[in-house]
Amino acid sequence: MKQLLVIACLAFAVAGCNNEDKTKATTDAGETKTAAADLKLPIPLEQPYRGWQIGSTDNVVAAMNSLKAFVDEDYTALAATIGDSLYLDFDNYQAKLSHDSAVNMFKALRPQNKDLKVTMYDYVSVISADKKDEWVTLWYKQWWKNDKGVPDSMNVTDDIRMKDGKMIGLYEKTSRFQVKK
């Protein structure tokens, strides 16, 4: 009986040591890839899943430097963070601007918000498995006063496309807070 108990415990221990993750597969090159292609999604992807991985923290710093330069009205520093062109996608506004046009647009927008402040919630940097696409996502709250001195705020999510440490795309989503009556 003791031997049977020892064998049973040993069998459970061996079975418990099997750490294989059923959502991952190993290629011949030893790389691990997710089984996302095997998922039966209720809504299909427009493009194949790109095997996103955690990206460069340098891109996070570059993206935050861009936001900080905008808040501080430091347009020289802001210009240094923008690529040769910048695709913008805001609510009701989409445009691809040259480097100089993008800086001029930010210069024109910034004075509309007095005493602008940002509270950063979190961030993530990702890169596609083929290393062709790099993105940084920032989640933050933005506070300001309008031209009449009335305070306002909103939550913002910026998806920033990066290339060679420069911002080449800015996709901004905002959530305004309900006005108190």
Q: Say yes or no to pLDDT of 11 above 50.
A: no
Specify which of 7-11, 32-36, 75-79 reaches the highest per-range mean pLDDT: 75-79
pTM of the model: 0.77
pLDDT tens figures, 88-111: 999 999 999 999 999 999 999 999
Taking domain 54-176, whether its CATH number is 3.40.605.10 is answered by no
More confident residue, 101 or 148: 101
Q: What does each C-alpha distance from 141 to 22, 95, 118, 130, 147 come to in angstroms?
A: 38, 24, 6, 33, 20
Burial state string for 118-142 with b = 16 or more CB within 10 A and e = fewer than 16: beeeebebbbeeeeebbbbbbebeb
Q: How far apart are CA 85 and CA 75, in angstroms?
A: 16
